[in-house]
């Protein structure tokens, strides 16, 4: 749930990022590349949590819309029966008017019976029509009362979810601004590292390289299909809220990877963790999901202590060591 604590965290991150980007005053030395990288990592962790909240509210909205549509569909047959009952009642009223009144018409039907059996048949038929109409009316009234209550509840839920989405959308520019500042910090860190390497006459270290050597892991079954899908997405850009085909965020990648294997997962790391079977690290097999950052990030295990994941907007879908971030847990779809 999106709350004030999350808002405060993101504001603190934004302030911390801005403070690092601003020119250093005379009393303080410029931050080291390591310090900048630490701030980048912290900022990306905060952004990931916001992204996953955005994905969750989108999923919740879709579920609520589906429930409303289903509720409307459930009322259709009851409405049809009620319309038919009203049509029958209208027909009886018209006939009664034409023949001089409902009671006279009913009496003539009964008295016109040629035998006692016919008499009771006609009385029974009239009673059956009346009971059927009453039952239809009672069923419709009960169903309509339940429908109205459920629809009101769903509409209230929908309104709350739309407000939550609007809040997240409003913060989208702020998040993108934070990411832009992180990118600027990274460029400064790279420049500092290159300058230090040049001074020491050593090759400068590179950051965020997409080193994905070798052929795709050989994995059988559904897990193999999930791994193969994720492997094929390497090099594609991270975009928050995206689930392919050309861009992904972390839970969008794992969702689509397992969709290729015939398994449905939500577009949210926390909801994926709630749905999968939890396992230990020693039980990990290719295709299993690895969760990080208090359920703010997820990747897909490919063996040899490596995952494929969509890390953040500064890089692309790539292979990384499993211990790339603070581990939360492991799950098998």
Three-state DSSP class for 279?
strand
What does the block give as tokens for 21? 């980007």
Decide: residue 294, CB within 10 A, 0-12 exposed, 13-18 middle, 19+ buried: middle
pLDDT of residue 267: 95
Three-state DSSP class for 189?
helix
Return all residues near 104 (Cβ < 8 A) that are at least 6 apart. Answer: 96
pLDDT per position as a tens digit, 160-180: 878 877 887 777 677 678 767
Q: Is 309 a catalytic residue?
A: yes
Q: How far is CA 32 from CA 9, 136, 261, in A?
A: 23, 78, 45
pLDDT of residue 8: 34
Closest CA relative to residue 306, chosen from 278, 285, 280: 285
Low-confidence ranges of the chain (pLDDT < 70): 1-31, 33, 78, 81-133, 136-137, 172, 175, 179, 202-214
Return all residues near 163 (Cβ < 8 A) that are at least 6 apart. Answer: none
Contact call for residues 332 and 288 (beta carbons, < 8 A): yes
What does the block give as tokens for 102? 């409902």
Q: Is the peptide bond before 245 cis (omega within 30 degrees of 0)?
A: yes
CA distance 84 to 97: 20
CA 196 to chain centre: 45
pLDDT of residue 25: 36
pLDDT of residue 52: 87
Q: Is 25 a catalytic residue?
A: no
pLDDT of residue 327: 96
pLDDT of residue 107: 47
Task: Choose the catalytic residue: 25, 28, 250, 267.
Answer: 250
pLDDT of residue 210: 44
pLDDT of residue 124: 56
Task: Choose the catalytic residue: 25, 86, 267, 297.
Answer: 297
Task: Choose the catalytic residue: 86, 267, 278, 309.
Answer: 309
pLDDT of residue 318: 96
Q: Is 28 a catalytic residue?
A: no
């Amino acid at each position: 749930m999106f709350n004030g604590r999350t808002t405060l965290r993101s504001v603190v991150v934004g302030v911390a990022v801005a403070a690092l980007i601003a020119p250093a005053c005379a009393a303080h030395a410029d931050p080291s590349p390591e310090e900048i990288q630490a701030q980048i990592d912290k900022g990306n962790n905060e952004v990931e949590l916001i992204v996953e909240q955005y994905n969750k509210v989108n999923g919740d909205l879709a579920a609520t819309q589906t429930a409303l549509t289903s509720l409307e569909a459930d009322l259709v047959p009851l409405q049809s029966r009620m319309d038919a009952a009203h049509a029958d009642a209208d027909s009886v009223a018209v006939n009664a008017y034409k023949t001089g009144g409902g009671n006279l018409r009913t009496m003539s039907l009964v008295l016109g019976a040629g035998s006692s059996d016919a008499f009771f048949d006609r009385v029974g038929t009239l009673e059956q029509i009346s009971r059927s109409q009453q039952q239809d009316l009672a069923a419709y009234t009960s169903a309509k009362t339940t429908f109205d209550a459920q629809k009101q509840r769903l509409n209230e839920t929908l309104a709350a979810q739309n407000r939550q989405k609007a809040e997240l959308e409003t913060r989208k520019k702020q998040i993108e601004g934070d990411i832009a500042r992180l990118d600027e910090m990274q460029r400064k860190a790279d420049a500092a590292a290159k300058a230090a390497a040049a001074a020491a006459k050593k090759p400068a270290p590179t950051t965020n390289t997409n080193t994905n050597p070798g052929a795709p892991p050989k994995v059988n079954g559904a897990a193999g299909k999930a791994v193969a899908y994720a492997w094929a997405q390497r090099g594609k850009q991270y975009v928050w809220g995206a689930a392919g085909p050309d861009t992904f965020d972390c839970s969008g990648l794992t969702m689509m990877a397992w969709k290729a294997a015939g398994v449905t997962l939500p577009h949210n790391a926390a909801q994926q963790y709630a749905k999968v079977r939890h396992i230990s690290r020693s039980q990990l097999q290719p295709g299993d999901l690895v969760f990080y950052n208090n359920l703010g990030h997820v990747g897909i295990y490919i063996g040899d202590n490596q995952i494929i994941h969509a890390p953040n907007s500064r890089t692309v879908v790539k292979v990384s060591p499993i211990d790339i971030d603070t581990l939360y847990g492991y799950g098998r779809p």
